[in-house]
């Protein structure tokens, strides 16, 4: 890991905290990330959604035996006539899991099922659709090739080869792969512990009546959802009043008990000043105005050993900044390697979009496929950063880059699906 400090990194010539391009902010954060240390061994099923912490080598050849890829007959390729049909004598059967004990000699064949061990002497399988059986006499169509339809032992994976690399997130396919090797336990990184709290005197928790000007805290719920889906251990520290003492205590407690601290609210202009002085006491934090919408104010830093992300307070901004900055950073800390950015693709925008050049916008969109198979996207409506329903109605972001201005209907735009992100 880099020994660069946050203060050193923020001295770069082109570093401007008041106008931070999205890509530059991401790159800045990534200089300070390294996987957590510590691994645990868990039973295969419990590895789902976790990250492999040690290369998993195959203890066996896969497949373990030369076997048939088809239902048909196993025979010697040398017996196939150069031209026309070939007739051979069936001397037995080989089912999957029940091999034929004998040897296939000249002029002979063995009935074989998919997965059945190819018997000694045979090197070729002819599928049943290309054969005609008359009692024990089987006639094969012309045009068969020696070696066809036979899966060699170790063809998929040789004993000793790496089946799963360290850093791989375990999905259902990996569970099956590990099981297919007869491995019962997997070493995974310990779970990343993430503490979060909301700040704001206006925030109330569910179950209390709202006074004038008060709102229910929703950010702790979206954060809970996104962090849980990502596979983190979450530590919800509730709402903290806009009071320097309470905020300092909350930061100190969060930093001491978690790998990552996330807050929402309190980093915008006006509020940032007293939060800034608290954070500079506890660690090293930079405050940015990101050239993006929504999600302009963002803070990142280290509080002792913990990484800190100070997200804006607006509910949509919280989600957008989490998707665009926090997700990939947490995946690195969780041990995922490589971290693949969420893919984007192009779709035709069917409506006019208002957009000012000079910043990246993440508008909320609804992506649909028309009768002609083409993808089109439209915005969810009002795009205010407080309108959480725009996130709920959306299935994608419409990403409009810095240079883009207003978008006219029919223009191709970049979209990024939300589902599967976290």
Q: Where on the chain is the footprint of ligand AMP (CB under 6 A)?
A: 198, 200, 202-203, 215, 217-219, 264-266, 268, 271, 312-315, 386
- For ligand AMP, the closer CB: 170 or 387: 387
- For Mg ion, the closer CB: 116 or 265: 265
Residue 312 binding result from Mg ion, ligand AMP, none, given CB thresholds of 5 to 8 Å by partner type: ligand AMP
- How big is the chain, counted in residues? 422
Phi, psi of 234 (to 5 degrees): -105, 145
Q: Which of 164, 122, 121 is nearest to 140 (CA)?
A: 122
Min dist. Cβ of residue 387 to ligand AMP (A): 11
Q: Which of 72, 200, 283, 294 forms a contact with Mg ion (CB under 5 A)?
A: 200
Min dist. Cβ of residue 342 to Mg ion (A): 29
Phi, psi of 389 (to 5 degrees): -60, -25
Helix (H) or strand (E) holding 260: strand 260-264
- For ligand AMP, the closer CB: 156 or 271: 271
The contact mask relative to Mg ion for 317-356 (x = CB under 5 A, - = no) is ----------------------------------------
- For ligand AMP, the closer CB: 32 or 196: 196
Residue 395 binding result from Mg ion, ligand AMP, none, given CB thresholds of 5 to 8 Å by partner type: none
Q: Which of 265, 294, 295, 301 forms a contact with Mg ion (CB under 5 A)?
A: 265
- For ligand AMP, the closer CB: 58 or 314: 314
Min dist. Cβ of residue 201 to Mg ion (A): 8
d(CA 328, CA 330): 5
Residue 35 binding result from Mg ion, ligand AMP, none, given CB thresholds of 5 to 8 Å by partner type: none
Helix (H, G, I), strand (E, B) or coil at 121: coil
Residue 170: left if φ>0, alpha if ψ -120 to 50, beta else—which one?
A: beta
Beta bridge partners of 195: 235, 261
Structure token digits, residue 261: 């601290």
Q: Which stretch binds Mg ion (CB under 5 A): 11-19, 213-221, 305-313, 322-330?
A: 305-313
d(CA 99, CA 94): 5
d(CA 146, CA 132): 19
Structure token digits, residue 251: 């930061």
Q: Which of 287, 318, 297, 308 is nearest to 388 (CA)?
A: 318
Q: Which stretch binds Mg ion (CB under 5 A): 8-16, 168-176, 196-204, 334-342?
A: 196-204
Min dist. Cβ of residue 393 to Mg ion (A): 25
Torsion sign over Cα 312, 315, 319, 320: negative
**Is residue 297 involved in binding Mg ion (CB under 5 A)?**
no
CA distances from residue 35 to 29, 30, 160, 273, 302 in whole angstroms, order as listed: 14, 11, 26, 32, 15
Min dist. Cβ of residue 33 to ligand AMP (A): 25
Residues that bind Mg ion (CB under 5 A): 200, 265, 313
């Amino acid at each position: 890991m880099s020994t660069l400090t946050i203060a050193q990194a923020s001295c770069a010539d082109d570093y401007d905290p008041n106008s931070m391009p999205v890509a530059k902010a991401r790159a800045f954060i990534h200089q300070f990330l390294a996987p957590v240390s510590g691994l645990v061994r868990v039973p295969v099923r419990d590895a789902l959604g976790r990250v492999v912490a040690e290369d998993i080598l195959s203890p066996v050849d896969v497949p373990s035996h030369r076997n048939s890829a088809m239902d048909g007959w196993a025979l010697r390729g040398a017996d196939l006539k150069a031209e026309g049909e070939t007739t051979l004598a069936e001397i037995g059967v080989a089912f999957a899991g029940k091999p034929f004990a004998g040897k296939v000699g000249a002029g002979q064949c063995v009935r074989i099922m998919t997965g059945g061990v190819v018997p000694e002497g045979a090197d070729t399988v002819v599928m049943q659709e290309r054969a005609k059986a008359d009692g024990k006499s089987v006639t094969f169509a012309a045009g068969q090739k020696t070696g066809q339809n036979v899966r060699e032992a170790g063809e998929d994976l040789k004993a000793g080869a790496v089946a799963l690399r360290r850093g791989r997130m375990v999905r259902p396919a990996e569970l099956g792969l590990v099981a297919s090797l007869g491995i019962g336990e997997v070493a995974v990184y310990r779970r990343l512990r993430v503490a979060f709290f909301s700040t704001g005197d206006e925030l109330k928790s569910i179950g209390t009546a709202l006074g004038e000007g008060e709102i229910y805290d929703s950010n702790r719920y979206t954060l809970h959802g996104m962090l849980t889906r990502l596979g983190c251990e979450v530590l919800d520290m509730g709402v903290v009043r806009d009071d320097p003492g309470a905020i300092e205590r909350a930061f100190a407690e969060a930093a001491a008990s978690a790998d990552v601290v996330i807050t929402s609210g309190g980093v915008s202009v006006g509020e940032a000043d007293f939060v800034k002085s608290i954070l500079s006491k506890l660690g090293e934090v930079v405050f940015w105005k990101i050239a993006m919408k929504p999600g302009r104010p963002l803070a990142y830093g280290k509080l002792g050993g913990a990484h800190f992300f100070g997200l804006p307070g607006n509910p949509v901004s919280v989600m957008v900044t989490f998707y665009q900055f926090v997700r990939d950073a947490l995946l690195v800390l969780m041990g995922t390697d490589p971290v693949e950015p969420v893919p984007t693709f192009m779709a035709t925008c069917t409506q006019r979009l208002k957009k000012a050049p000079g910043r990246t916008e993440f508008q909320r969109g609804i992506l649909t496929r028309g009768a002609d198979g083409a993808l089109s996207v439209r915005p969810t409506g009002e795009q205010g950063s407080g309108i959480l329903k725009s996130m709920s109605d959306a299935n994608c972001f419409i990403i409009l880059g810095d240079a883009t201005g207003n978008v006219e209907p029919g223009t191709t735009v970049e979209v990024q699906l939300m589902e599967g992100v976290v």
